[in-house]
Amino acid sequence: MNVYQEIRKIVNEADGVLIGASNGLSIAEGYNLFADDSWFQENMGDFRSRYGIRCIIQGMVFPYHSQEEKWLYYSRIIKEKCIQNEPSQIMKNMYELVKEKDYFVVTTNGEDHFIPAGFLSERVFEMEGKLTEMRCSNGCCDDVYSSKETVFRIAEAEKKGEGLNKFLPKCPKCGGNMEVNYGESSSFVDQRSWQEKAACYREFVNRFRGKRLVALEFGVGRRNQMIKKPFMQLVSVESLAKYITFNKGEIYIPQEIQNKSIGVDEDIAIALDKILKVR
């Protein structure tokens, strides 16, 4: 049995599937937060030359002078990289692999690609929020709103050369500026929706104690504390649990869980394709 057949068998026989995904999955889908790649140069070239911004993440934390500039930047990223006309083959394959199973997803990725691929929203925990949502920057309440309409209006206004001012989103409760609901921020964990999802995550993990749980990890770095560390701890204490990590060029499996782990040092797209083709 090759490694892909083995993975397919483990997933098929599992009682529950816990998926963890981070930056390496985004990169496999062509969304690289840290690269001055051709996409960034072609699509964000004006921000590149005006402010010296060299990658997506740098522009997300740049201290813009105005809300217009900030929303123009985010809108373009969201429209081009987060809102997909169709899910990528990677996301389709991942969903296909687990759709019949009892699954739960935890991710630090903000591009919101799981739910459009078919994953149920109540089973996806975006630990750092998502770019397709926004919140009040005054923190007057913990409500989050879809940012999609704003994104399309701003893109349309930019195309027509209109001012963006009247399209800038305002908080319906206090009238304050809105900001994208994404990124590391202490205010996050206070959000009701975040707390509810964190509780769902705990409930899922507890439900599969003593059962055949498989943790599938996609593109999570070696030092990741939010996803990798709890996954490895869980697998080490649960005798029937399995740990499968996909991360090209960066496989890390600690000694104590070696015997119940598989590392897939291959492009995620290729690996998923091979697993799906197992008969």
- Closest separation between CB of residue 50 and Zn ion, Å? 30
- Closest separation between CB of residue 100 and Zn ion, Å? 42
Structure tokens at 207: 């439900």
Name which of 171 and 220 has its Cβ closer to Zn ion.
171
- Closest separation between CB of residue 139 and Zn ion, Å? 7
Instruction: Determine if 105 is a binding residue for Zn ion (CB under 5 A).
Output: no
Largest CA distance in the chain: 61
Q: Are 17 and 256 in contact (CB under 8 A)?
A: no
- Closest separation between CB of residue 136 and Zn ion, Å? 3
Pick out residues in 56-85 that bind Zn ion (CB under 5 A). none
- Scanning 14-83, the segments in alpha helix (DSSP H) are 23-28, 38-43, 45-51, 56-60, 67-77
Which residue do the tokens 């394959």 mark? 93
Pick out residues in 119-178 that bind Zn ion (CB under 5 A). 136, 138, 140, 171, 173-174, 176
Tally the residues of the chain.
Answer: 279
Q: Are 274 and 96 in contact (CB under 8 A)?
A: no
Number of H helices, E strands in the chain: 11, 9
Name which of 78 and 171 has its Cβ closer to Zn ion.
171
Size of the site for Zn ion (CB under 5 A): 7
Name which of 171 and 271 has its Cβ closer to Zn ion.
171
Residues that bind Zn ion (CB under 5 A): 136, 138, 140, 171, 173-174, 176
